[in-house]
Amino acid sequence: MPSANDDGIGSPLIGHLERRKQAIATKDWRSPGKHLMIFPRLPVCSLKRLNGRMSNRSAPRPPSLAALFLSFLTIGSTSFGGGLLGWIRRELVERRAWIDDTQFLVYYGLSQMVPGATNVNLSVIIGSQLRGVAGALTAVAGLLLVPLVILLTLGAFYFATSDLPASHRINAALVGAGAAAIGFNIATGLRLGQRSLRRIGPLLVAAAIIVGIGVLGLPLLEVVVVMVPVSLVVTLIERAA
């Protein structure tokens, strides 16, 4: 993967360690190194974790607004027929490496808890994480521009003729693309699962949600409200064990 994350390991960590050494040397407890003295566990935890946390707080080189706009423009233009979630992960995690899978999953979880279109919420959170308010606006504008223009054009046509422009075959093609797009989203979930669901507890949580919503047809909100605390308990038990 590109170097965005590699940059994140070295410099901030070394910076922290330097400051910590300084703090020890000068006994200046109000220095930036102070929190490391209170939580001395931090420097010895695994590099991978630390890397995630560092890039979480401040990505070493956040993308320019133009690059952010282009990426979301691509996402909005390719996701006709569906599969938006898959496209967002493919572009931002796999191709650009602006966020990692951990961040992607957290932001997606947060997006589900907030009302409104999940993928728009996700774009807002990712955009704001990368570039603040301007980033959030840029991400949503990029995401919506092409779909909006196309829909307004379709709408104008529809209102003029008062008939659906889609013929029989176009409709069938849309159904086919939609069916494939659903597969794309499921595949995105399965790929994430292959990487993150390595222990039995989290695996059972994910399975319960899949059965609850996918098979039994329970309402999403209720399932989320119940399963987030359950998952939290599972996490805490696993940590204690």
Alpha helices by DSSP H, 3-113: 4-26, 34-38, 47-57, 65-78, 84-89, 101-113
Smallest distance, another protein to C-beta of residue 222, A: 10
CB of 21 to another protein, least distance (A): 20
How far is Cα 75 from Cα 90, in angstroms, rounded to an integer?
Answer: 9
Report yes or no: 36 and 16 within 8 Å, Cβ to Cβ. Answer: yes
Nearer to another protein, 60 or 178 (CB): 178
Q: Which one, 26 or 173, has the nearer CB to another protein?
A: 173
Q: Which is nearer to another protein, 23 or 87 (CB)?
A: 87
- Residue closer to another protein (CB basis): 26 or 147: 147
Contact 192, 105 (CB under 8 A): yes
Q: Give the whole-angstrom CA distance, residue 127 versus residue 81.
A: 23
Closest to another protein by CB, 4 vs 209, is: 209
In whole angstroms, the minimum distance from the beta carbon of 101 to another protein comes to 8
Nearer to another protein, 25 or 46 (CB): 46
Q: How far is the CB of 84 from another protein (least distance, A)?
A: 5
Report, in Å, the least distance between residue 180 CB and another protein: 3
Phi-psi region of 217 (alpha: psi -120 to 50; beta: other; left: phi over 0): left
Task: Tell me how far, at minimum, the Cβ of 63 lies from another protein, in Å.
Answer: 17
Which is nearer to another protein, 66 or 110 (by Cβ)?
110
The H or E element spanning position 196 is helix 168-196
CB of 238: closest distance to another protein in angstroms? 8
Torsional sign, CA 78, 79, 83, 86 = positive
* Spatial separation of the C-alpha atoms in residues 198 and 139, rounded to whole Å: 33
Cβ atoms of 140 and 111 closer than 8 Å: no
Q: Quote the CA–CA distance of 98 and 103 in Å, as a whole number.
A: 10
Integer Cα distance of 95 and 106 in angstroms:
19
